[in-house]
Amino acid sequence: MRHGKKFNHLGRKTAHRKAMLSNMATSLILHKRISTTLAKAKELKKYLEPLVTRAKEDTTHNRRMAFSYLRSKEAIIELFGGIIEKVATRPGGYTRIIKTGFRLGDNAEMCIIELVDYNELMLKDVEPVKKTTRRSRRVTGTASAVPSTKVDTPAVEDSEDPSGPDASEDSTDSETDKK
């Protein structure tokens, strides 16, 4: 029974899994964004975020602890240098997972995992869209400005004699066709 075994083994032995997560964390630190499967990204998030939190305090001990996880001098320099400058005030949540669909071949769910403060598209200050007022379809712009007044004039159809001065030729022809 697997009671209490909470983390995903990712189908690998312990040494392979640790090496893979270390390499993925190094790649994410150096490149700021990588594409991988969703399961690996979720495990990488659990692996990397405590390291970033530890890197906020730049001590020799924290550098050595991070090096024991990453095993890359370039990644340590980037983590304690450039990355910490951007995430120093953030209280956690240093990575973002964006689902990208399914991989052809094995239909594995793919995603992009990235460092949050390095995505320029998401960081742009988007101006709030001004909400337009809803306009009624019943009223047009020019007709609403001029109030319509109804004038009581006798209609042409009400008169018995279509040969009057107001009668047109069309109304005379249409009435004779009806008879």
Q: What angle do CA 167, 168, 169 make, to 5 degrees?
A: 130
Domain boundaries of the chain, sorted by first residue: 14-123
Write down the pLDDT at residue 2: 84
Lowest mean pLDDT among 14-18, 93-97, 108-112, 159-163: 159-163
Q: Could you tell me the fold of the domain covering 14-123?
A: 50s Ribosomal Protein L17; Chain: A, (3.90.1030)
Report how far residue 51's alpha carbon sits from residue 85's, in angstroms, rounded to the nearest whole number. 15
pTM of the complete model: 0.67
Report how far residue 20's alpha carbon sits from residue 126's, in angstroms, rounded to the nearest whole number. 37
What does the pLDDT look like over 160-179, one tens digit per residue?
555 555 555 555 555 555 55
Average pLDDT, stretch 132-152? 62
150: confidence class by pLDDT, cuts 50, 70, 90: low
What does the pLDDT look like over 37-76, one tens digit per residue?
999 999 999 999 999 999 999 999 999 999 999 999 999 9
Q: What is the token pair recorded at 88?
A: 């120093």
13: confidence class by pLDDT, cuts 50, 70, 90: very high
The residue assigned the tokens 């008879």 is: 179
Report how far residue 69's alpha carbon sits from residue 22's, in angstroms, rounded to the nearest whole number. 6
Residue 170 half-sphere exposure, CB side, CA atoms within 13 Å?
A: 1
Phi/psi at 26 (nearest 5 deg)? Answer: -65, -45
**How does DSSP assign 100-167, residue by residue?**
EEE-TTT-PEEEEEEEGGG-HHHHS-PPPPPPPPP--SSS-HHHHHS---------GGG-S-TTSTT-
> Would the pLDDT of 104 be above 80?
yes
The residue assigned the tokens 């499967």 is: 37
